[in-house]
Structure 1
Amino acid sequence: MIDFQSAERQRFEEPASEIGLEPLCAMINNNLRCYDLAMELSTSTIEALPQSYAEQVNFEDTCKGFLEVAKEAVHQTVSVIFEDPGVQELLVKLYHKDWLEGQVTEYLVATFGDYFTDVKMYIEERSFRRFVEACLEETVVVYVDHLLIQKNYIKEETIERMRLDEEVLMDFFREYITVSKVENRVRILSDLRDLASAESPDSFTLVYTNILEHQPNCPPEVVEKIVGLREGIPRKDAKEVVQECKDIYEHSLVDGNPSKTGFVFSKVKCLSASKVSLWRKLT
């Protein structure tokens, strides 16, 4: 069983788009089925053995291994979508002219819909829901990443388009998973929109404090970047906001670390790749 899992994991070394949608869906199904069979084998074996021997038998790690492979296959299936050249063409337009004109998010969810129809035919319902959740999470991560790397100043039309994006994503994903699950994941987009439209230093710090409640590992660099995209904020106010948010973040840490890791900021590429802090530019 361990050899089978190892062979399955080796396949993940290939780009998801080369593995393909159907083989990945088959991996999800096969490993979940293997998990069920391994659990049955575990139960029957332990029941058949004397207690002294049964206590020495450990199927748990092997059984969990099948679930881990299935989980990774779900994420790889999501990667197939995001590696689609058509999807990538849309994503590079985020926060630019076409996006402002409503020619990105609406088209993106239409593409998702086509993929979802295919995937739903290949995998069972419980796996499909996990797949949809993973797709939504990746969408949010990509949107946050592009917001933070784009260079255009945030204007009223930017804020309005961000709000419309949230509606489009909510309307689409709620067709597949519960509204509460969609809201929990889209919430950070709404919070960042509030941050991007904050009108005073107190507003910035209040919104950032709210973000840390559900995304405790949101670094103050996020505020730095968004402040840097705002026109008309005096340098003195900008420095004050950034410093206050740094203090808030420091005070929120538990033993020097965030209390938990949210699904967004550990995956936002520009934060891990960024070497130059806007803080230096402001000082």
Structure 2
Amino acid sequence: MQISTSSRNKAILLLTGVTSVSLSDYAVAFSEPNIVLANRFTESLELKHYLMSEKLDGIRAFWTGKDLLTRKGNKIYAPHWFIQSLPDFPVEGELWAGRGNFHMVQSTVLDKVPKDTAWEHIRLMLFDLPEEKGPYSERYRRLVQLVTSVESPHLGYIEHSLVASELALLDFLDSLQVLGGEGVMLRRTDSEYRAGRSDDLVKLKKHQDAEAEVIGYKPGSGKYTGLMGAIHVKLENGRTFYIGSGFTDEDRRTPPPLGSVITFKFNGYTVSGLPRFARFQRIRKD
């Protein structure tokens, strides 16, 4: 990847909790890196082709082999000791200081004069090798080898695991929410590094809760033959849809009664305005 030093941009950074900074005072001397961008999660994904990892709430960083840049191509003025262990080829990752510390990372990373005491709390958590050939599964393997061969407390990698099932993905998402995590990233195992937005990279954020009234049922099929397959529910605004996930076998044998109000979890909304990825949580007892 060629990084031009002739490009000049004029803009203003408006940073929450940080004084506005003119980029002419900050740094703009590189063209924007061509990086992979994430689509939002849809139920049409074939999960068996994906690896899942925690979505870190940091600042995405691109190491050119010489300079550390933001996703927009702005130079990051990291201390020399922070970048001295990085390789002489491009790597990509997230500058992170633990869950809930985004504003600290933001103010530190976007400071033209690096403060050692602040940078000591930050790690570059790698997740890809942009110029490596081959599928993501192979690039990830090489990335892990790279990080483990370097003895640096400020360099790490984001752990990935295969998505065993829809339920496993949801359980992982729920466990991250309990820990204060932001969400899940899904990377297609067979994808080459292709710049731009596609389903090669997908983001799934924390769930929301809502309530609905049970108005009907759909019979189960396959392993759920003879049991409830899904409940038909009505939202407060009158919209109706089916929920078929989140039930135990006992729930399917004795489903929530007609007229009862249930709480369900979901992740955003579909284009038509219905809850996406809805799954049963419990019957409301009060």
TM above 0.5 = no
Output the TM-score relative to the length of structure 2.
Answer: 0.27
Output the TM-score relative to the length of structure 1.
Answer: 0.27
Structure holding more helix per residue: 1
Structure holding more strand per residue: 2
